[in-house]
Amino acid sequence: MRTDPSSHTMQALVVLAPERFEIQEVPVPAPGPMEVLCRVKAVSICGTDSHLIAGDYPGFWPPEFPIIPGHEWSGEIVELGPGAEKAGWKVGDRVAGTSHDACGVCQQCVEGRYNLCENYGVMDLHRQYGHNYQGADAEYVVHGVKCIFPLPEAVSWEEGAVIDPASIALHVANRARIQPGDTVGIMGGGAIGLLGGEAARIRGAGRVIVVEPLERRRQKALDMGFEVIDSSAGDAGATLRELTGGLGVDRIIEAAGVPITVQWSLAALRKGGRIAWAFRKGSPKLAAAVNEFMKNHRAGTLIGNVMINRYIRDFDWAANALGI
């Protein structure tokens, strides 16, 4: 791997068309006003990346091929664009990036909900790196100063590359309003689910129970100190109730987003409980289950997201939590 961006070219993963990708030699991007060029030290693979490569979001992510994906990364600044120094950045700074370079002036941005920016998709106002603009699956990446965050020295490059999903998990746990001593169910033992379990513990959860069909993910959850339910064995909602003496769980983080896990979540929630969803899209079957829940559990609360949601401070909180 080269260490000098003045060599003008770099290696990058280029997706040419759905399911067609290769490593190419491409120009090193130049930072524009209020942007920085970073040497990528570590990058993680989001579930969205696999869908983008498969062409599951035609005409949206990306608007057109080719594209360099990747939006969960860490690295160091090697060059400042005009004005970036005024934002406090300097060459050599360790940073982690998030995908949204939002307008910063609409109501959603002013309130910190930058991923819900009113100007999303207007390229001069809101880019989403690795989705509708070139991303971080490369030796170097350009990001705007609004979407990089300081990486504490105590946090490794690899850990820094998962701060983005960790911030999502923390935001979902915050929206669930987990209280000290709560029993929390986690639907799905993937990255968001397991990170959500950690966020639940940060908020003081007394028990965290992960529902997951895959053995390797259940083992990872056990290694992290969580209780587990093998959802391939039957009705996980009923099992959650059994484990809580028939009362149900206080809070649920729904990180799977498939109709059956949503139904289990609704069945396992105790009266007055709260479900926080961490997925984008529903289905008629899911809507029917929610409607049935609302008729029978008026004291419960469902918190959903139009898109994967977070506030801008969640990223800093997640970085600091990893550095503890």
- How confident is the model at residue 66, as a pLDDT? 98
**Angle at CA 122, nearest 5°, toward 120 and 128?**
55
Lowest mean pLDDT among 53-67, 189-203, 284-298: 284-298
Confirm if 32 and 79 have CB atoms less than 8 A apart. Answer: no
204 plus 150 within the same structural domain: no
CATH number of the domain encompassing residue 128: 3.90.180.10
Mean pLDDT of 61-82: 97
Residue 305 pLDDT? 52
**Residue 66 preceded by cis peptide, ω within 30:** yes
| Burial tier of 57 (Cβ tally within 10 Å: 0-12, 13-18, 19+) | middle
Q: Are residues 141 and 189 in the same domain?
A: no
Average pLDDT along the chain: 90
Instruction: Report residue 257's pLDDT band, with 50, 70 and 90 as the boundaries.
Output: confident
Q: What percent of the chain has pLDDT over 90?
A: 77
CATH code of the domain in which 227 resides:
3.40.50.720
**pLDDT for res 1:** 42
Same domain, 183 and 263: yes
Q: Residues 83-129: pLDDT tens digits?
A: 999 999 999 999 999 999 999 999 999 998 888 899 998 988 999 99
- Return the pLDDT at 312: 54
pLDDT at site 2: 45
Q: Look at residue 278 in the predicted model and tell me its pLDDT.
A: 83
Q: Are 115 and 181 in contact (CB under 8 A)?
A: no
Residues 29, 132 within the same domain: yes
The tens digit of pLDDT for each residue in 270-279 reads 999 999 988 6
Q: Name the least confident of 175-179, 265-269, 304-308.
A: 304-308
Q: Is the pLDDT of residue 307 over 60?
A: no
How confident is the model over 247-270, as a mean pLDDT?
A: 93
- Contact in structure between 227 and 198 (CB atoms under 8 Å): no
Asked whether residue 322 is assigned to any structural domain, the reply reads: no
DSSP 236-305: HHHHHHHHTTTS-EEEEEE-S-SHHHHHHHHHHEEEEEEEEE--S---HHHHHHHHHHHHH-TT-EEE--
Count structural domains, the chain.
2
What is the structure's pLDDT at 165? 92
217 falls within a domain:
yes
Same domain for 146 and 198?
A: no
Whether residues 18 and 107 share a domain: the answer is: yes
Global pTM? 0.86
For 61, the domain range is 5-161
Q: How far apart are CA 298 and CA 241, in angstroms?
A: 19
